Amino acid sequence: MASSILEVDKVTKYFRGLKAVSDYSLTLEKGVIAGLIGPNGAGKTTVFNLLTGVFTPTSGTIRLHQQDIAGQRLDQIVSLGMARTFQNLRLFTKLTVLDNVLVAAQINKDYGFWAAIAGLPSFKKGEKDLRERASALLEDMGLLHLADELSGNLPYGDQRKLEIARALATGPRVLLLDEPAAGMNPRESQELTETIRIIRDKYDLTILLIEHDMHVVMNLCDNIQVLSYGEIIAEGKPADIRSNQQVIEAYLGRAAANA
Amino acid sequence: MMNLQKKKLYTLLALVALFVILFICNMLLSPYHMRIINLVGINIALVVSLNLTNGFCGVFSLGHAGFMAVGAYVAAILSLPLVKKAIILPELPKWLGSVELSFLPSLIIGGLVAAICALIIGYPVLRLRGHYLAVATLGFLVVIQVVITQLQDFTRGARGINGLTQYTNTWWVWIFTCITIYVVWRIINSAYGRGMMAIREDDLAAEAMGVNLTKYRLLAFCVGAFFAGIGGALWAHLITVVTPLSFSYDRTFSLVVMSVIGGMSSITGGVVGASLMTLVPELLRNLEVGITVGGISIPPLYGISQIVLSVVLIIVIIVRPKGIVGSREFSWNLFKKKKWNTMNQMEN
Ligand SMILES: Nc1ncnc2c1ncn2[C@@H]1O[C@H](COP(=O)(O)OP(=O)(O)OP(=O)(O)O)[C@@H](O)[C@H]1O
Ligand SMILES: [Mg+2]
């Protein structure tokens, strides 16, 4: 299929004997918003870490734009067009909101080291372009008025949005969002749902998202995969997932145990 | 916010003022005092360049003294007058024995060789996650001492090279200082500097945002080494001697102390730390020989400067763990704000 942008085939990851992810496969069609759900510790974040190069798969292949990326460095994979956010926020807390986005935007900077040192016109123009792009992204995420704040001082919800703005600044074709709505109230997560749709259309993105908030997932996703103990236990449209017995057990089992 | 034009003008005026003051000092002050002023300049450049590596990029290098040694020896060998060279270093290979470069190219080549050394040390080490650079650069200090002592034909071993021409003067020093500050300022206000600061904050996140860790770390390390090399060369041609002991651990540690006391991730911090920690010991040194103040004679207090410095370091680390300046940076806006505040007060 020519239109599939990301193809993951039977990826497995062991941590010293612990099978965190086993035989995970995924085919993402261009423009789709796919969901990855599952109980805590199911291996969802590990999947992201495998896709983005934090971990090298024990086995299996990952192809982005038909190119094998398993084992490549994080920055190489980003420059091939796949960016992510972090579940446990990893902003550069002592840099400003704008600088956080600028760090990510530099991947497309068009001046070199010597131009920067000499302060050449190409440097000044390049910086201006970067700043404009970064400001536009902050505007998309509704953060422009906070541009000069230290990112560590933002409220939690805004930090989550900044994570998205920062990932977008790398100019991705595939965007991986790890629990973007965590810690948000229902109104905020409703807004976020809208925003994600808007940026998908505006920047022509394909999105894979991990989320515990079922409203967000059911609302947003075209396809959903359910992970439990590192294995895909169900896969399909939101409506199918909602009524899938195994999924209900995986979740209810946990809820019952917690109760 | 002040407009850019105005800031540029103020900066230019401040530079002119600096050089006018230096000019006047040069006429009025004794050579001893001028030497202190020159050491302040060299130390500022050294600490500011160290801050780029250690403070802004967060890769902790202890190699500054080693790079100073490399720069000093390279520049000394290159710039030594041919007649002297034939006597002092008769065993030099012919291609080196027959060159006598003027000071500027010697300095630059000294800096470049230091940067190349940094590249060779840094490349294998900076590719690894974790803080191995401190250990590697500490090893480099040892190795460079041994190499200098053993390479008799080039360095005269432990005897060192003496009788260097005293090329270094106030102008060389302070122009170098200004260039160092300018370059570091340019770097940190570009994508390169932001990348370095991102690495310091969270290297995994920086890499996940497309920052090539090895490249940026190497860049910070090599730029630091380049300026250390030139600083070492200027130093040697101020003192007119280089020996293997000129640039040892204590030099590295005193630079690190200056950096920590002023503020590691700030150019201003580097300037403040270097100035303070160069001037205060010199003042204290007077106490060590004993002075008479207003009829009261203070007996010689041997070792007092070391004690005071250690106490200052401890106090600063406790009271201001991020250094005197912290990570703030000087800006002309500071004055504007102050002016604005006083104007407000006057209105009240
Ligand atoms: N670096 C690591 N080393 C060892 N074990 C790890 C590592 N990272 C994750 N694990 C383990 O892998 C399993 C899956 O973790 P993962 O973080 O992927 O879960 P998750 O589905 O994202 O959970 P949550 O919903 O809580 O975020 C867990 O048992 C976890 O302890
Ligand atoms: Mg997770």
Q: How far is CA A160 from the centre of its chain?
A: 11
- Short-list B245, B242, B278, CA closest to B259: B278
pLDDT at B340: 44
Q: Is the pLDDT of residue B2 over 70?
A: no
Angstrom CA distances, A190 to A146, A194, A197, A215, A225, stand at 21, 7, 11, 8, 22
Q: Is the pLDDT of residue B110 over 70?
A: yes
DSSP A55: S
Q: What domains can you pick out in chain A, each with its CATH number? A: 1-81+172-259 (3.40.50.300), 94-170 (no CATH)
Supply the mean pLDDT for chain B.
86
- Can you give the pTM of this predicted structure? 0.89
Which residue's alpha carbon is nearest to atom 2 within ligand 1? A15
Q: Is the pLDDT of residue A48 over 50?
A: yes
pLDDT at B341: 42
Structure confidence at residue B130 as a pLDDT band (50, 70, 90): low
User: Residue A199: CA atoms inside 13 Å, Cβ hemisphere, count?
Assistant: 28
Supply the mean pLDDT for chain A.
90
- Residue B1 domain-assigned (yes or no): no
- Residue B317 domain-assigned (yes or no): no
d(CA A189, CA A191): 5
Tell me the range of A100-104, A106-110, A253-257 where mean pLDDT is highest. Answer: A100-104
d(CA A75, CA A81): 10
Grouping H, G, I as helix, E, B as strand and the rest as coil, residue A120 is: coil
Pick from B183, B186, B209: which is nearest to A170 by CB? Answer: B209
Neighbour tally for A129: CB within 10 Å: 15
Structural domain of B100: 36-246
pLDDT at A257: 45
For the residues A154-174, what does the mean pLDDT come to? 94
Are B232 and B114 spatial neighbours (Cβ–Cβ below 8 Å)?
yes
Q: Is the pLDDT of residue B346 over 50?
A: no
- Short-list A4, A5, A23, CA closest to A61: A23
- Residue B204 domain-assigned (yes or no): yes
- Residue B148 domain-assigned (yes or no): yes
Which residue's alpha carbon is nearest to atom 17 within ligand 1? A45
For the residues A170-177, what does the mean pLDDT come to? 95
**Best mutation site among A11, A12, A15, A89 for ligand 1 pocket (most ligand atoms within 8 Å of CB):** A15
Q: Is the pLDDT of residue B166 over 80?
A: yes
- Residue B323 domain-assigned (yes or no): no
User: Among B257-261, B297-301, B338-342, where is mean pLDDT lowest?
Assistant: B338-342
**Residues of A numbered 68-107 whose beta carbons fall under 8 angstroms of chain B's beta carbons: which are they?**
73-75, 78-79, 83-84, 86, 90-95, 99, 102-104, 106-107
pLDDT at B6: 82
Are A191 and A28 spatial neighbours (Cβ–Cβ below 8 Å)?
no
Phi, psi of A27 (to 5 degrees): -125, 115
pLDDT at A243: 79
Q: Is the pLDDT of residue A194 over 50?
A: yes
Q: Is the pLDDT of residue A19 over 80?
A: yes
d(CA B348, CA B342): 10
For the residues B202-224, what does the mean pLDDT come to? 95
Structural tokens at position A42:
């199911």
Q: What is the largest CA-CA distance in chain A?
A: 65
Tell me how close the Cα of A117 comes to any Cα of chain B, in angstroms: 5
pLDDT digits (tens, 9 = 90+) for A202-246: 999 999 999 988 889 998 999 999 998 999 988 989 888 887 777
Q: Is the pLDDT of residue A258 over 90?
A: no
pLDDT at B291: 67
pLDDT digits (tens, 9 = 90+) for A180-191: 998 888 999 999
- Residue B267 domain-assigned (yes or no): no
For the residues B228-253, what does the mean pLDDT come to? 91
- Residue B174 domain-assigned (yes or no): yes
Structure confidence at residue A2 as a pLDDT band (50, 70, 90): low
| Total tally of structural domains belonging to chain B | 1
For the residues A147-154, what does the mean pLDDT come to? 93
Structure confidence at residue B107 as a pLDDT band (50, 70, 90): very high
**A113 contacts B208? CB cut-off 8 A:** no
The chain B residue lying nearest A49, using CA atoms, is B208
- Short-list A167, A180, A193, CA closest to A36: A180
